[in-house]
């Protein structure tokens, strides 16, 4: 538990729980919320110390942060509880208790911490730490102490309540980053954090909906030890500092013995603030593991010793936390939306919360399996998060209202019975409006017909004019004009737009089919692998598809299934005159590769067509193969931009891209003319 802050001037724990607001008039609803939060913070803390945490650290932190914001001096915030440890693992005592850190969350607080340290040090005649700070990544994992005797791993004990933890040595011995033997023969007790690297999670834990931290916590303590070999321990401390003079030397010593460590750096306060900024902007997202902040230390061990501890929290170090990616909200409704492939996605509609600069009201629940696993229902208090700015999702249920969601048996759109496919529910009714509308949308999106809005598609589907993408090419402007509030001019424009997109390239054609997991990026992989005609794609076996780099067997099987199911439909499209063209025909941009990143003045699809219609290829990421990265600011220091520079890729903006196209077209014309 990394987030309990006990400030030096907090009131005595004995003071009454009421009258916390110091005479300020408080909204009774706020008062009720404070009381509610305080009692729950206490309860969850107790269960945590009892070895049976009810909620995650992140959820606990979110509740505690909210309480601190509403009632900063609440005695519960100053109290550190503990209780009996109940576990089936053998209990073990830490030779030196494992403490935790105070935290700061912004520049001013960090500067204030340095100032406080300097004042205390000045009293002892010691020099300022402001130009002598040390920084290590703060890992979001499970704390562990490892004891080595005679150079051999003898014990591995979880943090527990800081005094007594669980001995899980057999599991830890198999984790990455843990040397079985070290060259130093002294009795040594080192501290680290058990984490699950994102790449290991992807490879070995196919459950997409839980966090790496939760997976690591569950796996580290499995009695059968299964999966422990996929976990990693990164080390950051040694209980007895021997006579190591600085944090820098301490980390160097750990590394010299073969212990894996997080990244570290050394510098002034300004350096630390700049580094924090870089982590928030780019570095954090590039890591293969999750961190929730930086630990900032007084680099000198002498200074750390002088500063000492308060409530088992060292004064000479602080956790500089990143802004919280998770917030608490309440479930208003649970919807089961049928998508274009027929797959049903449960979505939690929550009370609006601000997360990473956006208002979040919908959070994905992924599939029926997760709904069951979470035991979620309307009225529940949940932790909603946004990782790396992707779709918000529900991390966990904090407080259940007791109305667990019932997994539906019928499609919410057409009423047809749903069938289960693994953890997913599917509507197999090909006439289901949700499926048909979704499929038409997929085609419209792929070809980039911007005139076509949701309403028009719904109306045409309802009128029975659209059942599959092929119907778009049989439609007349009169069909559209016959609809409510559609004029001749607009109707003609819609039809014109569909026709103007012909011919479509093979990746567009394939993506337009709306097969689950088969977007244009994936379709391009097939083309790059030599499947350059629709006939070749349709004829490919699942094994052949699975051998394409970037396509696993699961995705390959799903694509093969989707293609087989749409075989007749593909034929009908071709009969209607929609014949896909190989993307690398004889265009002016043949043989050139592009990738788009960041914001642009035109939709991505439109830019992609500019390239592909001239025979160029658009890649999904920066690779050795990439020649041009199209970016708003060619001097950007984003991770993509840096990577591109390293690989020798040219960085160009939209205007430069248009110039390039014009140049290539002139060249092309003079060659063929």
Could you tell me the smallest distance in angstroms from the CB atom of residue 419 to Zn ion?
11
Angle at the Cα of 600 from the Cα atoms of 594 and 605, rounded to 5 degrees = 60
Between CA 255 and CA 623 the distance in angstroms is: 32
Which stretch, 119-127, 233-241, 422-430, 627-635, contacts Zn ion (CB under 5 A)?
A: 422-430
Residue pair 164/83 in contact by the 8 Å Cβ criterion? no
Between CA 589 and CA 591 the distance in angstroms is: 6
Q: Which residues are tagged catalytic?
A: 138
> Reduced to 3 states, what is the DSSP secondary structure of residue 294?
strand
Query: Which residues of 40-173 form beta strands (DSSP E)?
Result: 91-93, 103-104, 133-139, 142-149, 152-158, 164-166
Q: Smaller CB distance to Zn ion: residue 414 or 482?
A: 414
Please spell the DSSP secondary structure of 579-623, one letter per residue. Answer: --B-TTSS-TTTT-EEEE-S--SS-HHHHHHHHHTTT-EE-SS--
- Output the CA–CA distances (angstroms, integers) from residue 33 to 26, 30, 36, 77, in the order listed: 11, 5, 5, 15
Helix, strand, coil shares of the chain as percentages rounded to 5? Answer: 40, 20, 40
Could you tell me the smallest distance in angstroms from the CB atom of residue 415 to Zn ion?
7
Considering only residues 323 to 342 of the shown chain, the ones binding Zn ion according to CB under 5 A are 338
Q: Smaller CB distance to Zn ion: residue 294 or 426?
A: 426
Could you tell me the smallest distance in angstroms from the CB atom of residue 438 to Zn ion?
10
Residue pair 273/107 in contact by the 8 Å Cβ criterion? yes
Could you tell me the smallest distance in angstroms from the CB atom of residue 282 to Zn ion?
43
Q: Smaller CB distance to Zn ion: residue 412 or 638?
A: 412
Could you tell me the smallest distance in angstroms from the CB atom of residue 212 to Zn ion?
35
Between CA 507 and CA 532 the distance in angstroms is: 9
Considering only residues 249 to 308 of the shown chain, the ones binding Zn ion according to CB under 5 A are none
Could you tell me the smallest distance in angstroms from the CB atom of residue 437 to Zn ion?
11
Residue 441 neighbours by CB under 8 Å, 6+ apart: 340, 454, 457, 514
Query: Which residues of 122-263 form beta strands (DSSP E)?
Result: 133-139, 142-149, 152-158, 164-166, 188-195, 232-238
DSSP H helices in 182-246: 198-204, 212-220
Residue pair 628/649 in contact by the 8 Å Cβ criterion? yes
Number of residues that bind Zn ion (CB under 5 A): 8
Residue 119 neighbours by CB under 8 Å, 6+ apart: none
Residue 36 neighbours by CB under 8 Å, 6+ apart: none
Residue 427 interacting with Zn ion (CB under 5 A) = yes
Residue 413 interacting with Zn ion (CB under 5 A) = yes
Q: List the one residue from 432, 511, 595, 657 that touches Zn ion (CB under 5 A).
A: 432
Q: Which string of x and - marks every residue 154-193 that binds Zn ion (by CB under 5 A)?
A: ----------------------------------------
Q: Smaller CB distance to Zn ion: residue 397 or 425?
A: 425
Which stretch, 26-34, 49-57, 414-422, 514-522, contacts Zn ion (CB under 5 A)?
A: 414-422
Between CA 330 and CA 640 the distance in angstroms is: 36
Residue 414 interacting with Zn ion (CB under 5 A) = yes
Q: Smaller CB distance to Zn ion: residue 331 or 432?
A: 432
Q: Smaller CB distance to Zn ion: residue 211 or 367?
A: 367
Q: Which string of x and - marks every residue 594-633 that binds Zn ion (by CB under 5 A)?
A: ----------------------------------------
Could you tell me the smallest distance in angstroms from the CB atom of residue 425 to Zn ion?
10
Which stretch, 24-32, 76-84, 124-132, 420-428, contacts Zn ion (CB under 5 A)?
A: 420-428
Q: Smaller CB distance to Zn ion: residue 413 or 505?
A: 413
Residue 411 interacting with Zn ion (CB under 5 A) = yes
Residues that bind Zn ion (CB under 5 A): 338, 411, 413-414, 416, 427, 429, 432
């Amino acid at each position: 538990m990394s987030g309990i802050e006990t400030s030096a001037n907090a009131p005595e724990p004995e003071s009454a729980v009421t009258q916390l607001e110091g005479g300020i008039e408080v909204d009774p609803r706020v008062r009720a919320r404070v009381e509610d939060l305080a009692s729950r913070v206490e309860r969850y803390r107790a269960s945590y110390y009892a070895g049976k945490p009810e909620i995650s650290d992140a959820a606990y932190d979110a509740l505690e942060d909210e309480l601190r914001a509403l009632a900063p001096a609440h005695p519960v915030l100053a109290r550190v509880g503990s209780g009996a440890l109940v576990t089936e693992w053998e209990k073990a005592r830490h030779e030196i208790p494992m403490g935790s850190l105070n935290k700061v969350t912004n520049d001013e607080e960090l500067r204030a911490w340095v100032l406080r340290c300097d004042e205390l040090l000045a009293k002892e005649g010691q020099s300022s730490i402001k130009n002598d700070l040390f920084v290590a990544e703060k890992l979001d994992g499970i704390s562990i102490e490892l004891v080595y005797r005679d150079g051999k791993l003898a014990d591995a004990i979880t943090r527990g309540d800081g005094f007594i933890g669980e001995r899980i040595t057999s599991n830890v011995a198999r984790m990455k980053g843990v040397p079985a033997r070290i060259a130093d023969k002294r009795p040594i007790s080192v501290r680290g954090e058990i984490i699950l690297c994102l790449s290991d999670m992807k490879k070995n834990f196919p459950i997409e909906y839980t966090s790496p931290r939760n997976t690591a916590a569950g796996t580290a303590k499995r009695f059968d030890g299964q999966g422990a070999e996929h976990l990693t321990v990164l080390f950051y401390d040694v209980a007895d500092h021997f006579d190591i003079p600085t944090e820098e030397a301490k980390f160097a010593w750990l590394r010299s013995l073969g212990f894996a460590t997080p990244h570290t750096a050394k510098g002034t306060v300004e350096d630390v603030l700049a580094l924090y900024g870089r982590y928030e902007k780019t570095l954090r997202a590039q890591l293969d593991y999750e961190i929730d902040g930086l630990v900032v230390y007084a680099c000198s061990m002498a200074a750390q010793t002088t500063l000492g501890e308060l409530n088992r929290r060292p004064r000479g170090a602080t956790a500089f936390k990143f802004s919280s990616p998770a917030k608490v909200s309440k479930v208003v409704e649970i919807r089961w939306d049928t998508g274009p492939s027929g797959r049903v996605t449960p979505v939690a509609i929550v009370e609006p919360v601000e997360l990473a600069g956006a208002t979040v009201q919908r959070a994905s629940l992924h599939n029926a399996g997760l709904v069951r696993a979470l035991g979620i229902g309307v009225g529940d208090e949940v932790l909603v998060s946004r990782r790396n700015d992707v779709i918000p999702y529900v991390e966990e249920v904090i407080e259940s209202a007791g109305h667990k969601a019932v997994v539906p048996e019928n499609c919410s759109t057409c009423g047809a019975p749903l069938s289960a496919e693994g953890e997913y529910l599917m509507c197999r009714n090909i006439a289901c409006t949700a499926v048909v509308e979704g499929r038409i949308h997929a085609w419209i999106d792929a070809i980039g017909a911007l005139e076509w809005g949701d309403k028009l598609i719904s109306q045409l589907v309802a009128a029975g004019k659209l059942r599959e993408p092929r119907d778009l090419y049989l439609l007349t402007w009169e069909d559209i004009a016959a609809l409510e509030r559609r004029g001749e001019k607009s109707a003609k424009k819609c039809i014109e737009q569909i026709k103007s997109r012909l011919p479509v390239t093979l990746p567009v054609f394939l993506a337009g089919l709306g097969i689950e997991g088969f977007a244009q990026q994936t379709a391009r992989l097939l083309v790059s692998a030599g499947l350059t005609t629709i006939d070749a794609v349709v004829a490919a076996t699942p094994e052949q598809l699975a051998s394409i780099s970037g396509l696993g067997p699961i995705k390959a099987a799903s694509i093969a299934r989707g293609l087989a199911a749409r075989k007749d439909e593909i034929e009908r499209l071709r009969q209607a005159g929609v014949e896909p063209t190989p993307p690398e025909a004889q265009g002016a941009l043949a043989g050139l590769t592009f990738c788009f990143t960041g914001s642009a003045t035109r939709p991505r699809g439109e830019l992609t067509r500019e390239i592909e219609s001239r025979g160029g290829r658009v890649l999904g990421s920066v690779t050795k193969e990439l020649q041009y990265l199209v970016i708003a600011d060619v001097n950007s220091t984003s991770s993509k931009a840096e990577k591109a520079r390293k690989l020798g890729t040219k960085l160009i903006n939209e205007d430069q891209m248009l110039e390039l196209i014009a140049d290539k077209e002139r060249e092309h014309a003079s060659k063929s003319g």
